[in-house]
Amino acid sequence: MSEQPVPQVISADGSSDDKMWALLAYIFSPLVPLIVLLMEDKKNRPLLRYHAVQALALGVAYMITLVIVIGCCLSPVYLVAIIYYGIKAYNGEYVSIPFLTDFCKQQKWL
């Protein structure tokens, strides 16, 4: 019997490229989300735009919180959160970040 290649599982919501960019958006926020939102071919993809906007908002919120309120105490929590949301994004799932997702939807960013 000849071995046939195993097909790659790709969600209907996005390609594997979109999922990788979504993962990178969370890990390297706020730089990668800004890049994604400025790239014409990427900013119009629903899964990628959703995660880029959320990752950007999460990164900005973290930086404001880090500098003004809590400082370095929040870093481990943020690290766990970006890894968790990045993995979810890579799996093609839409995640809801408490308070942040609702705020982004109210602003009509998502």
Task: State the average pLDDT over residues 14-40.
Answer: 92
* C-alpha to C-alpha distance for 47 and 18, rounded to whole angstroms: 7
For range 75-98, the mean pLDDT: 90
64: tokens are 């404001």
Q: How confident is the model over 28-50, as a mean pLDDT?
A: 92
What pLDDT does 7 receive?
A: 44
- 32, 55 Cβ separation under 8 angstroms: yes
Q: What is the mean pLDDT of the chain?
A: 84
- Per domain, the residue ranges of the chain are 16-106
Reported as a pLDDT band with limits 50, 70 and 90, residue 74 is low
Q: Please compute the mean of the pLDDT values over residues 29-45 and round it to a whole number.
A: 92
